[in-house]
Amino acid sequence: MSQDQRKLANYIKTSGLSKGYYLQLFAGGVACLGILMIYCSNLLSDAHSAAAAIPDVQTAGLLQDRIFTVAVLFFLSFAGFLGCTIFYLIVLGQRVGGPVIAICSYIQELKKGNYDVKRTLRKNDELGAIMSELQDLAESLKTKSERP
- Helix, strand, coil proportions of the chain in percent (round to 5)? 80, 0, 20
Average pLDDT of the chain is 78
Per-residue burial over 104-128, b if 16 or more Cβ lie within 10 Å, else e, is eebeeebeeeebeeeeebeeebebe
The one-letter amino acid code at 50 reads A
User: Does the pLDDT of residue 27 top 60, yes or no?
Assistant: yes
Global confidence as pTM: 0.49
Higher pLDDT, 131 or 15: 131
**Which residue from 50, 54, 81 is spatially nearest to 67, judged by alpha carbons?**
50
User: Quick one: which H or E segment has residue 7?
Assistant: helix 3-12
Q: Rounded to an integer, what is the distance from CA 48 to the centroid of its chain?
A: 37
**What pLDDT score was predicted for residue 114?**
85
**For a pLDDT cut of 90, what percent of the chain falls above it?**
0
Q: What's the average model confidence in pLDDT over 36-51? A: 80
Residues 47-98: pLDDT tens digits? 778 777 888 888 878 887 888 888 888 888 888 888 887 787 777 767 777 7
Question: Residue 4's pLDDT band (boundaries 50, 70, 90)?
Answer: low
CA atoms of 87 and 91, how far apart (whole Å)? 6
CA atoms of 120 and 57, how far apart (whole Å)? 69
Q: What's the average model confidence in pLDDT over 11-22? A: 58
**For a pLDDT cut of 70, what percent of the chain falls above it?**
84
